[in-house]
Amino acid sequence: MSLVTRCPVCGTAFRVQRSQLAAHGGSVRCGKCAAVFDGVAGLVEEGAEQLALEPSPQLGLFDPSRRPQAAAGAAAGNDAPLPTFMEDEDSGQRRTWLWASFAVLAALALGVQAVHRFRAELAAQLPESRAPLADACRLLGCEVPLPRRPDLMSIDSSELQTDARREDVIVLNAVIRNRARFPQEYPSLELTLTDESERPVLRRVLAPRDYLDTGRAGALIAQGIAGGSEISLRIFLDSRHSRATGYRLYLFFPQ
């Protein structure tokens, strides 16, 4: 909505926008007599009398060389408080920008958290992202581990038998398959030996270093199980203190 302000020198009335007055601190220059005056102090109610409206005055004193003169000639001064409706409009714009900034920052924070949470999966699906993710993790004090998807890992076969050369030793043979298209960590294994009634008599958790080749365990663990591949393992266990007749074997990733 436009407003009407009157020049106090020549009495000429002009139509102005409240946003223009607010943006320039209320200072205007009369387009007829060139006098500088406070456009806010000169506001008049339109309709109270018949006004002959002239073209809009110069708002904000666009000529920088004339600003000191304009400030000296202003009746009320640029430091005079603005009307409430102008202050509310300006503060409303600031609040809008503030909330928009908060929304952008919140979205960025959520994005960073999502990348951190699923960094292993991202590195697996997009191999070219592993190096940038590793660089970012070094700054944050984290690592980019291999993915852990137990639903895409399975024990394809397993067999428990006695060692032909040692009576008190049993041998576990098993094949672990990675059914994912990307490399995964080697899982841990839980082996439970049972008696004739299928009651547990011995339980043992085997970490990857327990069943991988001792000389190559470190390198194998770092590489993980390649996508779509399988590994065969053979583990020797002491059975002198158990009367096992059966077993159960599970794979899992420790928390």
> For the residues of 22-43, what is the DSSP string, one character each?
HHTTTEEE-TTT--EEETTTTE
Residue 236 pLDDT more than 70?
yes
Q: Tell whether the torsion through CA atoms of 205, 210, 211 and 216 is positive or negative.
A: positive
Distance CA 243, CA 219 (A): 37
pTM of the model: 0.49
Task: Locate 209 and state its tokens.
Answer: 């270093």
Position 42 scores a pLDDT of 83
Q: What is the mean pLDDT of residues 87-116?
A: 75
Distance CA 173, CA 167 (A): 17
DSSP one-letter code for 129 = G
SS3 content of the chain, % helix, strand, coil (to 5): 35, 30, 35
Residue 138 pLDDT more than 80?
no
Give the pLDDT band of residue 89 (cuts 50, 70, 90): low
Q: Where are the domains of the chain?
A: 2-81, 86-140, 150-252
Q: Which fold has domain 150-252?
A: Immunoglobulin-like (2.60.40)
Distance of CA 214 to the CA centre of its chain: 41
Contact between residue 71 and residue 77 where contact means Cβ atoms under 8 Å apart: yes
Contact between residue 32 and residue 12 where contact means Cβ atoms under 8 Å apart: yes
